[in-house]
Amino acid sequence: MDDRSEDRLRAALLIRAVETRLLSLYAEGRLNGTVHTCIGQEYSGIAVAEHLRPEDRVVSNHRCHGHFIARTGDAEGLIAELMGRPQGVCGGRGGSQHLHKDGFYSNGVQGGIAPVATGMAYELFRRGQDGIVVVFLGDGTLGEGVVYESFNLASKWSLPVLFVLENNRVAQSTPQRQTLAGGIDARAAAFGIATGSGVTWKPEALITAAGEAVARVRAGKGPFFLRIDTDRLNAHSKGDDDRPAAEVAKLRERDPLHAIRAAEPELYDRLEEEARLRVEKAVEAAEKVPEGGEDFEDADGWRGVSWSAAPGGEKARAVVRINQALADALKADERVSLFGEDLEDPYGGAFKATKGLSSAYPGRVRNTPISEAAIVGMANGAALAGGRPVVELMFGDFMALAADQWINHASKFGYMYGDSVAAPFVLRTPMGGRRGYGPTHSQSLEKHFLGLPGTRVLALNARFDPREFYKRVFASLDRPTLVLENKLLYGRPLDAPLPAGFSLEISDEAFPTIRLSPDAGADLTLFCWGDALDEAERAAARLFEEEEIFVEIICSTALYPFNAAPLAESVSRSGRLLTFEEGLSFSSLSAEAAAALAERGVLKQFSRLASARRPIPSSKVLEVRSLPDAAAIVARAKELLDA
């Protein structure tokens, strides 16, 4: 056996020793959670890793230990991580399925890593940087739609990403024949992606195949799809293998390590013992340090603020200032790029926010296919690769399609990778109704995306210049940031006169709270966010004019993390709180704000106004009935004062 083969064998035996030991640690109760071992599949990671360079990235899934060791060699960091120790590669936060070191990233949610890897490749390629991206997927994951969104984008944009499909013909308990229609390679081929294959029981040929795949991608020939047929010899996780013993026994016979042991028993035994000792030492070292390292929590946001008079509004519509803000960002920072549906000129975005930008910044503003999950997934990947992508979802409703990327990827990377990385990107999307777009294009879904540690959720309104707002967003962009725009806000002039007699102030927060105060003590505080401010203002004007009720409006721009202090301060003066939102109030920000005030004993008289508890109808009359407006605020405010 030559030196290189011996190195590969050493790596394979190390991986197997680690996996075997992890299973026994688990059985001994010394390991928390779960493991998915790759016993039988070791050569797949080894074959690919052998051809990689330091600048390349590897993205992997739940069955990632072998890929990680093959790529980084850090068995000690991996073992400490799984044992929950602070010296683990992610400080014990990520565990078995969430490993990160250097250019290696894994996530245990099936499929979502495909657009993440594609986004990394996009960013490297876009900026002319060296390096390719490899992503490992299981054959069961061929059932996830986002994989195909990624195939499509990677191929269309000719990105340097290698999709490695580990075909062990089983997914957890389900045999492939029950779930897979059509061919495997044919899937990639359908997107114009070149394909190749190998098998782990023929390591030398596999290594050659992997080498060719890597070389092709590195040569700039676009993505490549490498199918590696392999055998999962152990349970999916621990003790959950319902396959007939005879079937598994047959697989063991073609285990490549089995064959090498028979051919070179001495070498095999020596390397196996070497691996066993290394693993044992790593376990001992891990256990020397107590479990539970440094931890981190999002700030609860509560902070007293000071106020200053708001500057006069710009003589422009909100959409124009958003457009300028995006142009500013493109101009100021090479890392910024824009992608989403229909952004390019001459169309310039469904709401025209990106008009002119693809012409002014060729190649940096791109139309994507209709692939919301991949759009946000690629933003994740591009951000992890050092970019500052800005993506647009045409309607806020479609956040639902990207929820996995936002909730299980974007919000987790920073924390679960031990705060060593983050995915700083901007996701812009318009919420809101009153345009007759009906149940699926009118919602205000922000409540579903609030409270996720590691994220920021902001909402624009017409009283704070969007250009200045985005300037602040970019200046402090350290995490995934969702900016809620609003369909009606786009067309609003920013210099509309204030309701007569009211004065406008902004707080000193980076994402300021807006306060619209009457010139005498308020009878009621009206809380809102986003474009709801417009109806709130009308209501405040009418409440004074018609009812002689003085209303102070508090409008937050930072929905998460959320600072309830400015609201509490107002309510402690007025004694009454009315919250107003266009979305459904069940478990929404208004509930959260009220809870924060109640916890501090500030809440006495309180009422909430929100969308009717039904989908938003399309008929104008029905829609008007469903969404609360200024008239509804006036009526409710009177009730509250009469109570």
Ligand X SMILES: Cc1ncc(C[n+]2csc(CCOP(=O)(O)OP(=O)(O)O)c2C)c(N)n1
Binding site for other proteins (CB under 8 A): 315, 317, 319, 351-352, 435-436, 487-488, 490-493, 495-497, 499-503, 518-520, 544-548, 550
Residue pair 460/318 in contact by the 8 Å Cβ criterion: yes
Q: CB under 8 Å to 44, separation ≥6 — which residues?
A: 38, 66, 67, 136, 164, 166, 200, 206, 228, 230
Nearest-approach distance from CB 535 to other proteins, in angstroms: 12
Q: Of all helices (H) and strands (E), which one includes residue 336?
A: strand 336-340
Nearest-approach distance from CB 437 to other proteins, in angstroms: 9
Residue pair 516/491 in contact by the 8 Å Cβ criterion: no
Q: Is 95 in the site for ligand X (CB under 6 A)?
A: no
62 interacts with, out of other proteins, ligand X, none, CB within 5 to 8 A per kind: ligand X
In terms of CB distance, is 351 or 417 closer to other proteins?
351
Q: Is 110 in the site for ligand X (CB under 6 A)?
A: yes
Q: CB under 8 Å to 281, separation ≥6 — which residues?
A: none
Quick note: the x/- pattern for ligand X over 197-236, rule CB under 6 A, is: -----------------------------------x---x
Q: Which of 51, 57, 63, 456 binds ligand X (CB under 6 A)?
A: 63
138 interacts with, out of other proteins, ligand X, none, CB within 5 to 8 A per kind: ligand X
Q: Of all helices (H) and strands (E), which one includes residue 308?
A: strand 307-309
Pairing mode, strands 174-175 and 170-171 = antiparallel
Tell me the residue nearest to ligand X as measured from the CB: 138
Among the listed residues 537, 605, 602, 583, the one whose alpha carbon sits nearest the alpha carbon of residue 302: 602
Among the listed residues 213, 83, 73, 197, the one whose alpha carbon sits nearest the alpha carbon of residue 139: 197
Count of CB atoms situated within 10 Å of the CB of 548: 8
Residue pair 392/366 in contact by the 8 Å Cβ criterion: no
Count of CB atoms situated within 10 Å of the CB of 419: 16
In terms of CB distance, is 125 or 136 closer to ligand X?
136
| Amino acid at position 323, single letter | N
158 interacts with, out of other proteins, ligand X, none, CB within 5 to 8 A per kind: none
In terms of CB distance, is 486 or 570 closer to other proteins?
486
Nearest-approach distance from CB 260 to ligand X, in angstroms: 23
In terms of CB distance, is 439 or 493 closer to other proteins?
493
Among the listed residues 531, 483, 476, 528, the one whose alpha carbon sits nearest the alpha carbon of residue 633: 528
In terms of CB distance, is 233 or 551 closer to ligand X?
233
In terms of CB distance, is 294 or 495 closer to other proteins?
495
Residues between 157 and 176 that touch ligand X (CB under 6 A): 166, 168, 170-172
In terms of CB distance, is 45 or 518 closer to other proteins?
518
140 interacts with, out of other proteins, ligand X, none, CB within 5 to 8 A per kind: ligand X
Quick note: the x/- pattern for ligand X over 236-255, rule CB under 6 A, is: x-------------------
Rounded CA separation 280/18 (Å): 9
Q: What's the distance, CA 313 to chain centroid?
A: 34
8 interacts with, out of ligand X, other proteins, none, CB within 5 to 8 A per kind: none
Count of CB atoms situated within 10 Å of the CB of 55: 12
Q: CB under 8 Å to 10, separation ≥6 — which residues?
A: 271, 274, 275
Nearest-approach distance from CB 614 to other proteins, in angstroms: 22
Nearest-approach distance from CB 325 to other proteins, in angstroms: 16
In terms of CB distance, is 199 or 577 closer to ligand X?
199
Residue pair 162/48 in contact by the 8 Å Cβ criterion: yes
Rounded CA separation 79/413 (Å): 20
497 interacts with, out of other proteins, ligand X, none, CB within 5 to 8 A per kind: other proteins
In terms of CB distance, is 112 or 119 closer to ligand X?
112
314 three-class SS: coil
**Stretch of 106-114, 152-160, 203-211, 494-502 contacting ligand X, by CB under 6 A:** 106-114
555 interacts with, out of other proteins, ligand X, none, CB within 5 to 8 A per kind: none
Nearest-approach distance from CB 338 to other proteins, in angstroms: 19
Integer Rg of the chain from CA = 28
Where are any strands of DSSP class E within 200-329? Answer: 224-229, 307-309
In terms of CB distance, is 39 or 633 closer to ligand X?
39
Residue pair 91/409 in contact by the 8 Å Cβ criterion: no
Q: Which of 86, 108, 131, 381 binds ligand X (CB under 6 A)?
A: 108
Q: What is the DSSP letter of 493?
A: B
Quick note: the x/- pattern for ligand X over 136-155, rule CB under 6 A, is: --xxxx--------------
287 three-class SS: helix
In terms of CB distance, is 22 or 584 closer to ligand X?
22
Q: Is 88 in the site for ligand X (CB under 6 A)?
A: no
Q: CB under 8 Å to 161, separation ≥6 — which residues?
A: 117, 118, 120, 121, 132, 133, 134, 135, 154, 217, 223
Quick note: the x/- pattern for ligand X over 21-60, rule CB under 6 A, is: ----------------------------------------
Query: Can you give the binding site for ligand X, defined by CB under 6 A?
Result: 62-63, 108-111, 138-141, 166, 168, 170-172, 232, 236
